[in-house]
Amino acid sequence: MQANTFKRALCAGAVIFAALSPFAAQAEEKKSFDIAWTIYAGWMPWKYADESGIMKKWADKYGIEVNITQVNDYVESINQYSAGQFDGVVATSMDALSIPAAGGVDTTALIVGDYSNGNDGIVMKDSTSVADMKGQQVNLVELSVSHYLLARALDSVGLSESDVTVVNTSDADMVAAYNTEDVRNVVTWNPLLDEILSQPGANRVFDSSQIPGHIKDLTIVNSETLRDNPALGKALVGAWFELMTEMGTDSEAGQKARAFLGEASATDQAGYEAQLAGMKMFWQPADAVAFIGSDEAYEAMDSVRQFSFEKGLLGEGADSPDFVGIAMPDGKTLGDTASIKLRFDTEYMQMAADGAL
């Protein structure tokens, strides 16, 4: 199950100004595209879409080729996308903002696949209240979505990060750290979260279900590439939601897909389904469109950008959270409208919802 721990950890030095790179993507009409993914329950479906032939079917429909590539290092995959080595990649909304968008790469959130709804959580030993963390150490992957979750949890009880001491701990070391006497509090994600919760005296005191919509899992693409190649958007969205329609049912096809993905993620069908249960999956494109266009999603993205600025994740040149403009659906924006670099564009998901692909 450790294969799933490549999920969503952002390094402080990961922000790169990829627009200056000689590899930066050049907008042009083309026929072959490369998409990168890393292991996490919400992104694993790209592996099945590739190996089952679903992706090829949709690519063939639009006369293009789409290569789906697994990258073992999450942050590195986003850096490679930002440098133009991939046309698209999977990422959380926070990392899409703080790496490619903050680095000057105009990026579109093409697919809103899910949001964490319990898969990320805070565990305390022999305590059931976040308030008890005051004056204590908290182990987590610094500047990751775990760090963000801690900030929201502390805020919910009138505390701030200055009331605790954050101890940067890699995901690979999290379980072992928790099992030491000195570590009392950890913030992590599944499957590590469930493994830690199985220990005596472990209490889940806060999780992502209490901040719905804040930790979104996306498939992002280069905006200029998408503009010049709408076939890419149609093929990716068509393949994704065909698979989601299968996976979200107890049909033979759905069970086959979930069993495949369980094995691919070093667990089994039941283990994979347990991870899916900690996410709000958008099985139908209309549900994804409705969510990302909601006030809830707008407010969550505002919270994420404020945190990203506070932690210096928008780069040294950022003088406010408005440094990077974010385009939300229905003409809503956050930040500098003259510098929109992250776009939540529902055009292709709406086409899927309307049966127009």
Domain-wise residue ranges, the chain: 2-115+216-353, 120-210
Mean pLDDT of 152-176: 94
Percent of the chain with pLDDT over 90: 83
Q: From 1.10.620.20, 3.30.70.260, 3.40.190.10, 2.60.120.330, which CATH number describes the 2-115+216-353 domain?
A: 3.40.190.10
Does the pLDDT value for residue 266 go beyond 90? no
> In angstroms, rounded to a whole number, what is the distance separating the alpha carbons of residues 63 and 52?
19
| pLDDT at residue 18, rounded to an integer | 41
Mean pLDDT of 204-223: 97
From 60-64, 157-161, 262-266, the region with the lowest mean pLDDT: 262-266
| pLDDT at residue 27, rounded to an integer | 58
Does the pLDDT value for residue 7 go beyond 90? no
C-beta of residue 224 within 8 angstroms of C-beta of residue 27: yes
Instruction: Enumerate the β-bridge partners of residue 280.
Output: 115
Q: What is the CATH number of domain 120-210?
A: 3.40.190.10
C-beta of residue 342 within 8 angstroms of C-beta of residue 356: no
Does the pLDDT value for residue 2 go beyond 60? no
C-beta of residue 137 within 8 angstroms of C-beta of residue 161: no
- The pLDDT tens digits of the residues spanning 57-105 come to 999 999 999 999 999 888 899 999 999 999 999 999 999 999 999 999 9
- Write down the mean pLDDT value for the chain: 91
Task: State both tokens at 185.
Answer: 């509090």
- The pLDDT tens digits of the residues spanning 310-340 come to 999 998 889 999 999 999 999 999 999 999 9
Crossing angle of the two packed helices 295-310 and 145-156, in degrees rounded to 10: 100
| pLDDT at residue 259, rounded to an integer | 96
